[in-house]
C-alpha cells in the first residue's frame, strides 16, 4: 500500500478493523491488514506508541512500515509490536511501486524487492 499522506494509527485508522477511516483520506476504506505500507511521514503524538501493539494483538497489523521520514514514537511502537520498520526513500516509491504490488522488505539492508506486479 503506497500512501501519499502521512500516517497516524490514531487519527487515520480504525483500530478494530484495520481500515483507514479518516474522512477525506485518499485511502479511506483501504485495509492495512497484512500489507507492507509506504508512508511519506509520521503524524500524531505519543499515543501511537501503544497502538501498534494493540492492532498486532488483534491480528489486524500491517506486515511492515516503510517511511520516508519517521519519528521516535513510530519506531518505538513498531519495534515494541514486532513490526518491521524502515526509514528513508531512494528512489521515491511512486516511481517504482504502486498499491497492490507484491514486494519483499529487507529492513537491515534497507532494500525493497518487487516480486510481482498488481494485476
Partner 1 sequence: MELSSEEQAILGGGRGEAAKRALEYQIEVGRFWGAKRFVPVTNVHMMGDIEVMGDAGLEYLKGEAGRGARCAVGTTTNARCIDFAHRERLGQDAGEALKERELIATLRRMDVVTTDTCINYQTVYQPHLGEHVAWGDTGTVIYANSVFGARSNFESGPAALAAALTGRTPEYGFHLSEHRKGSFTVELKAPLHDLADWGAAGKLVGESHQNYYAVPVFHGYHRTPTADELKHLGAALASYGSMAMFHFVGVTPEAQSVEVALGGGVSPESLSITDEDLKKIYSAYSLGDRDARLVVFSGPQQSLFEMKHLASLFKDRKIKSGTTCIVTTNSAILAQCRDLGYAKTLEDAGVTILEGVCFYILQNLSQMRQANRWTNMVSNSAKIVNIIGAHRFNTILRRTADCVDVACSGVLR
Chain positions contacting partner 1, by CB under 8 A:
6, 10-11, 15, 22-23, 41-51, 53-54, 56-58, 69, 71-73, 75-77, 79-80, 85, 87
Contact 67, 86 (CB under 8 A): yes
Nearer to partner 1, 1 or 20 (CB): 20
CA dist., res. 8 & res. 104, Å (int): 23
CA dist., res. 80 & res. 26, Å (int): 28
> H or E stretch including 80?
helix 72-81
**Taking the complex as a whole, how short is the minimal distance between the CB of residue 113 and partner 1, in angstroms?**
21
Nearer to partner 1, 84 or 101 (CB): 84
Contact 70, 97 (CB under 8 A): no
**Taking the complex as a whole, how short is the minimal distance between the CB of residue 56 and partner 1, in angstroms?**
7
**Taking the complex as a whole, how short is the minimal distance between the CB of residue 10 and partner 1, in angstroms?**
6
CA dist., res. 74 & res. 88, Å (int): 14
Nearer to partner 1, 43 or 63 (CB): 43
Nearer to partner 1, 10 or 63 (CB): 10
Contact 89, 107 (CB under 8 A): no
**Taking the complex as a whole, how short is the minimal distance between the CB of residue 32 and partner 1, in angstroms?**
16
Amino acid at each position: 500500500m503506497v500512501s501519499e499522506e502521512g500516517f497516524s494509527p490514531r487519527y487515520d485508522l480504525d483500530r478494530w478493523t484495520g481500515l483507514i477511516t479518516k474522512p477525506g483520506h485518499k485511502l479511506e476504506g483501504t485495509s492495512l491488514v497484512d500489507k507492507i505500507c509506504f508512508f511519506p511521514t509520521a503524524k500524531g503524538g505519543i499515543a501511537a506508541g501503544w497502538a501498534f501493539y494493540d492492532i498486532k494483538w488483534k491480528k489486524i497489523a500491517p506486515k511492515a512500515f516503510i517511511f520516508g521520514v519517521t519519528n521516535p514514537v513510530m519506531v518505538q511502537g513498531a519495534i515494541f509490536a514486532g513490526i518491521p520498520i524502515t526509514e528513508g526513500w531512494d528512489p521515491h516509491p511512486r516511481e517504482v511501486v504502486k498499491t497492490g504490488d507484491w514486494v519483499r522488505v529487507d529492513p537491515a539492508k534497507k532494500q525493497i524487492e518487487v516480486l510481482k506486479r498488481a494485476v
